[in-house]
Amino acid sequence: MNKNKNKKFRSLTFSVAVAFLSLSATVLIIANTLQIYFNICTQRDLIAGRQKLIAQEAADTVKGYILEKSEFLKTAVKVGKLINTDKSEQKLVMEKILGFNQAFRQVVLLNSKQQQILRQSRLSNLLSGQLTEQIKKRGEEILPEVLQGKTYISPVYFDSITSEPLIIMGVPVKDSLGNFQMIVLSEINLKFMWDIVNPIKAGENGRAYVVDSQGALIAFGDIGRVLKRENLLHLKEVAKFVSDSCAYNEGKIKMSKGIMDTCVATTHAHLGTPNWAVMVETPIYEAYAPILSSLNLAAITMFSCFGFSIVASHYLSKRITRPIIHLRDAAEKIGQGQMNTKIEHESFDEIGQLAEGFNQMVEDLQKTTVSRDALIKEVHERKNAEQSLEQTAEKLEQANQELKNFVYIASHDLREPLRKITAFGQLLEKSLGNKLEGDDAENLKFMVDGADRMSQMINGLLTYSRVNTQSQPFQTVDLNKTVKELQKFELSVVLEEKNAWIEIPSPLPCIEGDPVHIRQLIQNLIANGIKYQKKDSVPEITISSKPAADNMVRIEVSDNGIGIVPEYQNAIFTMFKRLHTRSEYEGTGIGLSVCKRIVERHGGHIGVESIPGKGSTFWFTVPRAKELIIAEIS
Amino acid sequence: MKNKQIKLVMLLLILCLLPNGCSKKEKVHRVGILCALDYISEIPDSFKKEMHKLGYIEGTNIIYDVKNTNYEPEKEKQILNKFVKEKVDLIFTFPTEVSMDAKNIAEGTGVPVLFTFANIEGTHLVENIRCPGGNITGCRYPGPDLAAKRFEILRELVPTAKRIWIPYQKGYPIVTSQLEVLYPLAEAAGITLIECPAANAEEIEADLQARETSGDPGIDSMLIIAEPLGVTAEAFAVFGKFAFEHKIPVGGALISAGGYDSIFGVNVNLQSAAKESALLADKILRGRPAGTLPVVSAESFFQLNYKAAQKIGIHPPEGLLSTADELIH
């Protein structure tokens, strides 16, 4: 418990929310990543395909441009009269070639030995020299090509003044038998190709350009860069083409630095003849726009879903933990004693059932608590009553004690003056003797008798009060011995006077009690048996014992006296209760009250069974001697 | 509470206006165009059309200040100074001499110069074609080559001509480079070149008048080279009339004035030159330094006035007819 107290509180709501969120995020990320991956693959192939298509179309256009020139030259040499004709005819053919298209800058007619027969130019003769130099330079490669009947196309070279890219195109001139006779070479200005390359678009901002087999830029929208004779070998795609122009272009899109020094998706298409390539570049942001768009969409979707997950996780965690929190709060409230607390629940699932169970438990607990409270209240009331009773008993005891004290003090203090009255009364009776007459003597006698009776009564009261005030500790009392001592001392006179005899059929038991009081008790009962006798009857007293419940013993003192009528049998134990006049039987009416008090002090009971005229049996119960009890147990 | 609401509304308004306020306003470019030759006065319009194609809408994102002169050096300098003072975004000038003036005046001012129809040979207009240097670029006029080509065509049309009369603006800078090309060709062909440097049409008239009065004009053909005087209507009317009266073929630049026509012209295609110039202007206006843009070469354009040739009894050969880019008949 203490260990748990030391642990930091971890919110279940938070844990559930985090768990749900983590799960959602994981699923989202995996799903989106897969989607993005496959999307990128698909889009990349699409972009590559589209770009390759554009490049191929551009290559076809450029190739078509060159082929057109080639075909025209071939047709012109076939149709025109160049063999076995004069120069003017040849010149006309060449001028017609020049006139066909501005791209034909110069036309040169060579004989089979590659010697120049004629030259026609759109330029002045001043600028025609470069072609001658090129023909000389490339003479060895021209003839083999042309002899095979092919169209010769030279590598690109640049005009020394204008920096415009040029090529030489050569076709054979054959006679009717197909024999090679001459060569027609034409210098073609590639600047006129720019107009067909420039409009080639690769997307919105894509570019197309043409490079030769050396990587030289020969056609591009920004003609300034062509005029600068830029070589683009530093571009990966160009370098790839230059290094292996025959390699199959697998059509995969590549990202690299483009002609504008920006990152582009690039591909190329090889023309074949001439050995050029059309490069197509699309800015990476444009090429991958669909991918970016798809990424954006995926990101938006993911973030939306994530947002939804947050809301959902919050909602679900709250929904799951709210009843639990209610349970916790309710438990706390119940712990604080608010037993009327109840959990409000909306769901009817396991949590709802738990809440229901909790409510039921609280209800039961409430009932139990009510019972307990009632019990506590009752106990409390009883305690109060007991306390009140104790207080009353205490007060009563106190009052009783005060009364006892009063009785004792009164009887003790009254005895002295009364003794004086009795003594002086008796002295007076003796001194006066016969001097008194009539009523005076009788009055004096009454006075002495009264004082004597009062003295007896006071003694009786004193005895009665001494039962409680002058008691001894309980001890084993042998009743046989007690009776014998009574016969010997206190009752010897009266036994003798009345000729009474005491019979003890079987030995009496030892009891636990105050020996003085027990002696007084037995003395009173025996004396009563002797006193209340029919005239001339010999008192016979029988003392016997019987075991009683609760380790008590019942002692019975039977007599053969006058007996007691049943209606007075209970009243005889009341103080000062007398059934007979003084003239019939002497007495103060205190003796049985003293007996009763002694028996009660010993925890026993006293009673009488009597048949008027035949005798009475006074019985009482007292505790057996402890020694006897122990002996029996052992 | 009210204050809070007002603040919120104001904040929203500011946020709404912020993008507009912060967005870059499209710049309105100002281009000063100085056409210093009537003969090529169609270039500005062609240039504007090409610029329009490139997205420059006059009055919207571009303003042209077009000035026309006809070889008036002082006025031209004033105009160029004005352009520089006004810090135009581009000075577009043509032909050669005014382009040279523009280069000098704009040098160090940061105002780029774009030329067309200007001869770069012998004028020091640019350092070289591939990298012009300074803050200038343009569309080259191949003056010497065209002069040679004109000479060659004239010879082909009039093979018998041994004396070729060449009028030109006295002191015009590019004349020398053309004459330097022509003299060797003429010499090789056994032809005499007769120069007629003049300040204006009157001086040309005086020269021709003197030939008239001498009884023999001493001219077999007339060649117009690339310079401003020969292509003015006044000057051409003078020597066109003289040529017609004496059945002397006139060629070099295609021109009609006073009811007289030249029989051919070899020039650059003005529309092509305007287009090339517009492409360069676009790059300059987009911030590319003019000096780094290679000079482009305008393509030559051969026009043959077959009708005019026939009037004076010249029958152009089939080959010339074939190579002519434009045949007037």
In a domain, residue A464? The reply is yes
Angle between helices A479-488 and A515-531 (to 10 degrees): 60
Does one domain contain both A454 and A494? no
**Residues of A within an 8 Å Cβ radius of B:** 91-92, 94-96, 98-99, 102, 120, 122-127, 161-164, 191, 222-224, 227-229
Does one domain contain both B243 and B156? yes
Amino acid present at A361? M
> B114-149, pLDDT tens digit by residue?
999 998 887 889 998 888 999 999 999 888 889 999
**Bridge partners for B67 per DSSP:** B34
Closest residue of chain B to A92, computed from CA coordinates: B319
Average pLDDT over residues A126-147: 84
CA angle A459, A461, A466 (to 5 degrees): 95
In a domain, residue B218? The reply is yes
Q: How many domains does chain B have?
A: 2
Does one domain contain both A409 and A452? yes
CB B323 to CB A163 under 8 A?
no
Does one domain contain both A498 and A409? no
Which residues 172-191 of chain B have a CB within 8 Å of chain A?
A: 181, 185
Does one domain contain both A143 and A154? yes
CB A126 to CB B320 under 8 A?
no
User: Which one, of A109, A67, A105, lies nearest residue A92 by Cα?
Assistant: A109
Q: Note whether B322 contacts A: Cβ–Cβ < 8 A.
A: yes
Looking up residue A512, the CATH number of its domain turns out to be 3.30.565.10
In a domain, residue B187? The reply is yes
Amino acid present at B164? I
In a domain, residue A3? The reply is no
Pick from A99, A191, A227: which is nearest to B130 by CB? A227
A130: closest CA of chain B, how far (Å): 14
A294: closest CA of chain B, how far (Å): 27
Question: What token pair was written down for A171?
Answer: 């076709």
Q: Which residues of B touch A126 (CB under 8 A)?
A: 144-145, 148, 181
Pick from A92, A163, A224: which is nearest to B293 by CB? A224
Average pLDDT over residues A510-539: 90
In a domain, residue A500? The reply is yes
**Is residue A521 over pLDDT 50?**
yes
- Whether the Cβ atoms of residue A591 and residue A528 lie closer than 8 Å to each other: yes
Does one domain contain both B52 and B119? yes
CA–CA distances in Å: residue A477 to residues A473, A484, A626: 11, 13, 11
In a domain, residue B56? The reply is yes
> A210-229, pLDDT tens digit by residue?
999 999 999 998 888 899 89
Average pLDDT over residues A105-117: 88
Q: Among the listed ranges A48-62, A94-108, A343-357, B263-277, which one has the minimum average pLDDT value?
A: A343-357
CA angle A627, A514, A542 (to 5 degrees): 85
| Predicted pLDDT at A149 | 84
| Predicted pLDDT at B249 | 93
> A184-202, pLDDT tens digit by residue?
999 999 988 888 888 888 7
In a domain, residue A557? The reply is yes
User: Which one, of B149, B183, B166, lies nearest residue B265 by Cα?
Assistant: B149
Average pLDDT over residues A446-453: 79
**Is residue A461 over pLDDT 90?**
no
Does one domain contain both A566 and A601? yes
Looking up residue A433, the CATH number of its domain turns out to be 1.10.287.130
The DSSP secondary structure of A254-285, one letter per residue, reads EEEE-TTSSEEEEEEEE-SSSS-EEEEEEEHH
Does one domain contain both A466 and A476? no
Question: How many residues in total does chain A contain?
Answer: 634
CA–CA distances in Å: residue A585 to residues A528, A531, A581: 10, 7, 6
Does one domain contain both A219 and A242? yes
CA angle A372, A375, A376 (to 5 degrees): 85
Does one domain contain both A566 and A591? yes
A-B C-beta contacts closer than 8 Å: 75
* Number of helices and strands in chain A (H, E): 16, 18
- How far is Cα A279 from Cα A207, in angstroms, rounded to an integer? 8
In a domain, residue A2? The reply is no
Closest residue of chain B to A222, computed from CA coordinates: B279
| Predicted pLDDT at B74 | 92
User: Which one, of A237, A278, A281, A286, lies nearest residue A56 by Cα?
Assistant: A278
| Predicted pLDDT at A3 | 52
Q: Note whether B266 contacts A: Cβ–Cβ < 8 A.
A: no
Rg (CA), chain B: 25
Does one domain contain both B127 and B188? no
The DSSP secondary structure of B53-98, one letter per residue, reads HTT--BTTTEEEEEEE-SS-HHHHHHHHHHHHHTT-SEEEEESHHH
CB B130 to CB A161 under 8 A?
no
Does one domain contain both B181 and B308? yes
Own/partner long-range contacts of A13-21 (Cβ < 8 Å, ≥24 apart): A13/A317, A13/A318, A13/A321, A13/A325, A14/A317, A16/A313, A16/A316, A16/A317, A16/A320, A16/A321, A17/A313, A17/A314, A17/A316, A17/A317, A18/A313, A20/A309, A20/A312, A20/A313, A20/A316, A20/A317, A21/A309, A21/A310, A21/A313
Question: What token pair was written down for A602?
Answer: 């010993």
The verdict on ipTM greater than 0.90 is no
Low-confidence ranges of chain B (pLDDT < 50): 1, 16, 19-23
C-alpha atoms less than 13 angstroms from C-alpha of A75 in its C-beta half-sphere: 9
Amino acid present at B94? F
A108: closest CA of chain B, how far (Å): 15
- Whether the Cβ atoms of residue B27 and residue B286 lie closer than 8 Å to each other: no
* Average pLDDT of chain B to the nearest whole number: 88
Does one domain contain both A356 and A282? no
CB A228 to CB B130 under 8 A?
yes
**Is residue A246 over pLDDT 80?**
no
A104: closest CA of chain B, how far (Å): 10
Closest residue of chain B to A230, computed from CA coordinates: B130
A541: Cα separation from own chain's centroid = 90
Q: Which residues of B touch A102 (CB under 8 A)?
A: 299, 325
Three-state secondary structure call for residue A317: helix
Residue finishing a domain among A309, A341, A373 = A341
| Predicted pLDDT at B3 | 61
**Is residue A414 over pLDDT 80?**
no
Amino acid present at A165? P
- How far is Cα A263 from Cα B93, in angstroms, rounded to an integer? 38
Q: How many domains does chain A have?
A: 3
- How far is Cα B114 from Cα B101, in angstroms, rounded to an integer? 12
Does one domain contain both B182 and B311? yes
B203: closest CA of chain A, how far (Å): 31
CB A92 to CB B181 under 8 A?
no
Question: What token pair was written down for A453?
Answer: 């009776």
Amino acid present at A224? G
- Whether the Cβ atoms of residue A475 and residue A510 lie closer than 8 Å to each other: no
Does one domain contain both B317 and B195? yes
Does one domain contain both B166 and B108? no
Question: What token pair was written down for A371?
Answer: 């019972």
Convert A423-436 to b/e letters by CB count within 10 Å (16 or more is b): eebeeeeeeeeeee
- How far is Cα B78 from Cα B36, in angstroms, rounded to an integer? 13
Does one domain contain both A58 and A184? yes
Q: Note whether B319 contacts A: Cβ–Cβ < 8 A.
A: yes
Does one domain contain both B170 and B255? yes
CB B145 to CB A91 under 8 A?
no
Looking up residue B84, the CATH number of its domain turns out to be 3.40.50.2300
B37: closest CA of chain A, how far (Å): 25
Closest residue of chain A to B131, computed from CA coordinates: A228
Residue finishing a domain among A452, A470, A488 = A470
**Is residue A292 over pLDDT 50?**
yes
**Is residue A163 over pLDDT 80?**
yes
Q: Which of B323, B326, B327 would best serve as a mutation to test chain A binding (most A beta carbons within 10 A)?
A: B323
Does one domain contain both B183 and B310? yes
Number of CB atoms found within 10 A of residue A295's CB: 18
- Give residue B244's domain range: 144-267+302-328
A270: closest CA of chain B, how far (Å): 28
Which stretch, A385-394, A454-463, B47-56, B68-77, has highest mean pLDDT? Answer: B47-56
Does one domain contain both A411 and A530? no
Which stretch, A137-151, A252-266, A430-444, A518-532, has highest mean pLDDT? Answer: A518-532
Q: Note whether B257 contacts A: Cβ–Cβ < 8 A.
A: no
Q: Which residues of A touch B131 (CB under 8 A)?
A: 228
Indicate the Cα dihedral angle A122, A124, A129, A132, nearest 10°.
40
* Average pLDDT of chain A to the nearest whole number: 84
Pick from A99, A125, A228: which is nearest to B323 by CB? A99
Q: Which residue has the tokens 């026939």?
A: B310
Number of CB atoms found within 10 A of residue B234's CB: 16
Q: Which of A104, A126, A166 would best serve as a mutation to test chain B binding (most B beta carbons within 10 A)?
A: A126
Q: Note whether B302 contacts A: Cβ–Cβ < 8 A.
A: yes
Question: What token pair was written down for A381?
Answer: 């009331």
In a domain, residue B177? The reply is yes
Higher pLDDT: A49 or B166? It is B166
> B53-91, pLDDT tens digit by residue?
999 999 999 999 999 998 888 999 999 999 999 999 999
In a domain, residue A98? The reply is yes
CB B140 to CB A91 under 8 A?
no
- Whether the Cβ atoms of residue A143 and residue A114 lie closer than 8 Å to each other: yes
Question: What token pair was written down for A521?
Answer: 């008790």
User: Which one, of A469, A407, A479, lies nearest residue A624 by Cα?
Assistant: A479
Does one domain contain both B314 and B192? yes
Does one domain contain both B258 and B221? yes
- Give residue A118's domain range: 8-341
> A605-634, pLDDT tens digit by residue?
999 999 988 899 999 999 999 888 888 887
Does one domain contain both A420 and A517? no
CB B145 to CB A223 under 8 A?
no
- How far is Cα A251 from Cα A54, in angstroms, rounded to an integer? 11
CB B296 to CB A224 under 8 A?
yes
Pick from B140, B152, B280: which is nearest to A124 by CB? B152
CB A223 to CB B296 under 8 A?
yes
In a domain, residue B206? The reply is yes
Which residues 143-172 of chain B have a CB within 8 Å of chain A?
A: 144-149, 151-152
Residue finishing a domain among A278, A306, A341 = A341
Instruction: Provide the H-helix boundaries in B167-269.
Output: 173-189, 201-213, 233-245
Q: What is the DSSP letter of A169?
A: E
In a domain, residue B209? The reply is yes
In a domain, residue A1? The reply is no
Does one domain contain both B86 and B122? yes
**Per-residue confidence at A472, pLDDT binned at 50, 70, 90?**
confident
Q: Among the listed ranges A89-98, A346-355, A388-397, which one has the minimum average pLDDT value?
A: A346-355
Q: Which residues of A touch B322 (CB under 8 A)?
A: 92, 95-96, 98-99
Q: Which residues of B touch A118 (CB under 8 A)?
A: none
CB B322 to CB A99 under 8 A?
yes
In a domain, residue B34? The reply is yes
Average pLDDT over residues A304-323: 82
- Whether the Cβ atoms of residue B272 and residue A192 lie closer than 8 Å to each other: no
Closest residue of chain A to B129, computed from CA coordinates: A162
- How far is Cα B33 from Cα A554, in angstroms, rounded to an integer? 158
- How far is Cα A495 from Cα A485, in angstroms, rounded to an integer? 13
SS (H, E, C) A566-616: HHHCCHHHCCCCCCCCCCCCCCCCCHHHHHHHHHHHCCCCEEEEEECCCEE
Q: What is the DSSP letter of A216?
A: B
Element (H, E) at B166: strand B163-169
A191: closest CA of chain B, how far (Å): 10
**Per-residue confidence at A77, pLDDT binned at 50, 70, 90?**
confident
